[in-house]
Amino acid sequence: MSLELVSASRCFDGTQGVYSHRSETLKCDMRVGVYLPPAAVSQPVPAVFWLSGLTCTEQNFITKAGAQRAASALGIAIITPDTSPRGAEIPNDDAYDFGQGAGVDATQEPWSRNFRMYSYVVGELPELVASHFAVDPTRFGISGHSMGGHGALTIGLRNPTLFRTISAFSPICAPSQCPWGEKALTGYLGGDRSQWAKYDAMQLIAEIGWSGSEILVDQGEADEFLETQLKPDLLVEAAARGDVPLRLRRRTGYDHSYFFISTFIASHLEHHARYLLA
């Protein structure tokens, strides 16, 4: 697996790079952001994988979150893949919340050939990163926002030996019970709801649990999607029933934007560092 450098910028004594590669999993070219802190010059460092939300690319987090300062000080790399397969040959939909920018491991045509983001994030991408950069593959965490927060929760819960820490901003907590989830999961996976459970964080916590480090979730109380799409209370209730360590921080006045993320991203990286650097 080869990487092509797209750009590299010095940032807080580390390097913010963007790379492209041909993905065998997704059958298209993909881009991924990699921030390497100065500590990576002398030794492998832990890495947090960040999954962005609907309509985002790798650029949203890189340019808006302001995460590099904290990552540099903590000695943690940040891996920021694009959210979706893309290209003229990739199926798409006119709606912002379906098609390119909103992929899972689809089983339905025409999505099943390319839309395999779950397999990409748990298989090809970690192998690619570990083979090209000074990161420690035994010390990975995962985080994300909105749809990407949903991905961080479900991927982390299902892969506890790969990702030791989990956090999320404004995640879609119970997609089987919200309009986005019903539309997307029907489109990508079909109408059999039993196939949806592995992409539903609330159901995963109830069925398989989590015995690792505390899961951290931040939710803005002025988020326009809070009541209809995100439903964090359902996740909290499932965690309590399953004795899963989960902390939900409700943030008064904060919405769904990167202003919210940039305010609290340092505390999320500190959360991951507490366990990954122990």
What amino acid positions are annotated as catalytic residues? 146, 223, 256
Q: Determine the 3-state secondary structure of 270 from DSSP.
A: helix
Instruction: Specify whether the backbone of 243 is left (phi greater than 0), alpha (psi in -120 to 50) or beta.
Output: left
Q: Determine the 3-state secondary structure of 44 from DSSP.
A: coil
What is the signed CA dihedral for 270, 44, 161, 66, rounded to 10 degrees?
30
Amino acid at 145: H
Q: Are 3 and 132 in contact (CB under 8 A)?
A: yes
Choose among 116, 127, 99: nearest CA to 151.
Answer: 116
What does the alpha-carbon distance between residue 112 and residue 105 come to, in Å, rounded to a whole number? Answer: 7
- Kindly give, in sequence order, each residue whose CB lies less than 8 Å from that of residue 193, ignoring residues fewer than 6 positions away: 176
Q: Are 72 and 13 in contact (CB under 8 A)?
A: yes
DSSP 34: E
Q: Determine the 3-state secondary structure of 56 from DSSP.
A: coil
DSSP 242: T
